Amino acid sequence: MQYPNIRSMLAPRSLLAVTHGLALGFGALAGIKSFAADGDPTPAQIAETAAALPDPAKMTPFSKQVPVIFVTRDPRKPEAWNNLKEFWNKGKVDSVDPATGEKVTRDAVFIKVPLGLNSAPPVPPENPLTEEKVMLGKKLYFDTVISSNNKVSCASCHNPALGYTDQMKTSTGIFDQKGGMNAPTVFNSGYHLLQFWNGRAPTLEDQAQGPPQNPVEMHDGKGNPWYQVVARLRKNPEYVEAFAKVFGTPPTRDAAAKAIAAYERLALTGNSLVDRAELAMRTRVEEEGEGKPETNAGDFTKVLKAAFEAKDTEALGALGLQAGKDEGKIAEVAASIQRGKELFSNKARCNSCHVGDNYSDSQFHNLGVGAKDGAWPANADLGRFGAQETGHKDPTLVGAYKTPGLRQLVSTAPYMHDGSEGTLEAVIALYNKGGNLNPHLSNKMRDEPAEREAAKNGQKAVIPRKLNLTKQEEADLVLFLKALQGDPAPDIIAKP
Ligand code: HEC
Ligand code: HEC
């Protein structure tokens, strides 16, 4: 059953309370010059740019709004999905205007959610997707106006052409400053339960408010960052008009965060060779009416052949193959990917953390990335532990970072939260030795039987669990990861 959405019911009121509370609390002080330094906004001014109550007369009327609707492939009746020609499809949808109860037929955009993503990214009820909102979010995403010096945009560090990353060890922000973290991909970020490597932002809307006020990313450190971003947006008539249409308000921080998040939810990647082989397997098992629902090398051979025929340079290029040249390698490559896939969920236990459609459990684990000489350095970042609220800190999460998805790895090197692993081979070598020894190593990375043996002898030790992969097995795993490479974003999403 559908519960009424308490958050969306409360949101306008609580915003009103905040705005009014500040206006009443500080309004009387507005005339006092010393209250804020010259040029600094008052708390009331800041509140007014943070959020505003919508004027329905300025919004696009319900009947003219264009909802964006995700269509995932339903295996029992795949026709609706099959019939969509592209990622972004124009169509019509019947709706009931909530204000009048009248039936209206609206234009709609139907998103063909890429194969392998069996659910749509969740959308907060207070931020429904519409075409105008997504396009406003895209404009903001690519616009350097968000940064104080007008030189940095979200796309500077999350460039769609570079797998929505910057392909740097750690990012370079405003005034060429180096940050300490590797920029994760925005692809499929709508599926994460929490955002950032340490999960400090609950949603994309919260996350998007971070960079504009970060002094090593987009802010010059002078004055109130979001007040200034909004002031710049309000000087631009195009933005004023677009925000009015979508939100019925002038540009605000609340609306800007919502629009950017709406755009990011459409940065989807899937349809990898592995997804295609899984579909081929299901079709095969159905046709044969028997057999386990597990892929075999034949399924990979089939989809590789199809990729060669279709000259799918993206999927083939990820494997280092070239159409018109490497057809002879199909059987060998198919067998290697299949072996890698089996290792992933058996001997190498990768799927104890990299699970689900996006290959992430959205949980936090310490692999020892950042550990030195068996210890967690005293001045090092504390990972998830550091981000948890006081009173809720979990000591098993020191140095633990969020499990990243694995669908664009060919485009997103270097890897890990600090960009410390340059290649997939290096990542596999790290796992093969059980991660980097440190006192906080995740239980899932530890050799618990060996630790118990040691304990019997009175030794308290953390013993990393080696995977004992052969060179061939390491190569198979790497090839499987490359076969997870998804389609790039279509131009309507990827091009400013
Ligand atoms: C200077 C480079 C830089 C800029 C500019 C930047 N980011 Fe990031 N972004 C990063 C880095 C680095 C991280 C990881 C930081 C961390 O986890 O502590 C990150 C994290 C994220 C995440 C979390 C993804 C995940 O898997 O947890 C999202 C989403 C994101 N950024 C979107 C944006 C948006 C939207 C903008 C523009 C408003 C933006 N970024 C601007 C570098 C940047
Ligand atoms: C205990 C949970 C766990 C297991 C098991 C695990 N991973 Fe990870 N994986 C993570 C976490 C957490 C990170 C990020 C760690 C960090 O940055 O500190 C990560 C990072 C990665 C990355 C880097 C991705 C990027 O975008 O930076 C790759 C590739 C990867 N894992 C592949 C694998 C493979 C292959 C296996 C099996 C051999 C595996 N993982 C096993 C949790 C796990």
Lowest mean pLDDT among 75-79, 218-222, 401-405, 453-457: 218-222
Angle among Cα 10, 109, 275 to the nearest 5 degrees reads 100
Give the Cα separation of 222 and 6 in Å (integer): 37
Ligand 2 pocket member 430 (CB < 6 A): no
Mean pLDDT for the chain overall: 91
Peptide bond into 414 cis (omega under 30): yes
Could you give the residue ranges of the DSSP H alpha helices within 380-434? 384-387, 424-432
Q: Is residue 9 pLDDT above 50, yes or no? A: no
Q: What is the pLDDT of residues 130-162, one digit of tens each?
A: 999 999 999 999 999 999 889 999 999 999 999
Q: Is residue 6 pLDDT above 70, yes or no? A: no
Residues contacting ligand 1 via CB (< 6 Å): 146, 152, 154, 156-158, 171, 173, 179, 181, 183-184, 186, 189, 192, 195-197, 204, 207-208, 211-212, 217-218, 260, 264
CA distances from 299 to 116, 281, 312, 337 (A): 15, 6, 17, 11
- Phi, psi angle pair for 372, to nearest 5°: -135, 130
- Confidence tier at 24 by pLDDT (50, 70, 90): very low
Which residues are paired to 109 by β-bridges? 68, 90
What's the mean pLDDT in 382-402?
Answer: 96
Q: What is the pLDDT of residues 159-211, one digit of tens each?
A: 999 999 999 999 888 888 888 899 999 999 999 999 999 999 999 999 999 88
Q: Is residue 395 pLDDT above 80, yes or no? A: yes
- The domain limits of the chain are 52-267, 273-348+485-494, 351-468
For residue 211, report the distance from its CA to the centre of ligand 1, in Å.
Answer: 7
Instruction: State what percent of residues in the chain have pLDDT above 70.
Output: 92
The reported pLDDT for the residue numbered 304 is 98
The reported pLDDT for the residue numbered 39 is 65
- Confidence tier at 99 by pLDDT (50, 70, 90): confident
Question: What would the two tokens of residue 6 be?
Answer: 């308490």
For residue 112, report the distance from its CA to the centre of ligand 2, in Å.
Answer: 29
**DSSP sequence for 122-163:** P--TTS--BHHHHHHHHHHHH-GGGSTTS---HHHHSBGGGT
The reported pLDDT for the residue numbered 90 is 98
Instruction: Out of 343, 350, 366, give the residue to mutate to test ligand 2, the one with the largest number of ligand atoms within 8 Å of its CB.
Output: 350
Q: Are 295 and 242 in contact (CB under 8 A)?
A: no
Q: Whose Cα sits closest to atom 43 in ligand 1?
A: 157
DSSP-based three-state secondary structure for 195: strand
Q: Is residue 22 pLDDT above 90, yes or no? A: no
The reported pLDDT for the residue numbered 178 is 82
Lowest mean pLDDT among 22-36, 265-279, 318-332, 334-348: 22-36
The reported pLDDT for the residue numbered 220 is 84
Lowest mean pLDDT among 150-154, 287-291, 303-307: 287-291
For residue 56, report the distance from its CA to the centre of ligand 2, in Å.
Answer: 47
Which residues are paired to 407 by β-bridges? none
Atom of ligand 1 nearest to the CA of 210: 38
Out of 2.40.50.100, 3.40.50.970, 3.20.20.70, 1.10.760.10, select the CATH number for domain 52-267. 1.10.760.10
- Phi, psi angle pair for 298, to nearest 5°: -60, -40
What's the mean pLDDT in 4-9?
Answer: 34
Q: What is the pLDDT of residues 314-326, one digit of tens each?
A: 999 999 999 999 9
Give the Cα separation of 431 and 347 in Å (integer): 12
The reported pLDDT for the residue numbered 291 is 85
Instruction: State what percent of residues in the chain have pLDDT above 90.
Output: 83
Question: What would the two tokens of residue 472 be?
Answer: 């061939």
Atom of ligand 2 nearest to the CA of 418: 17
Give the Cα separation of 187 and 349 in Å (integer): 24
Q: Is residue 422 pLDDT above 60, yes or no? A: yes
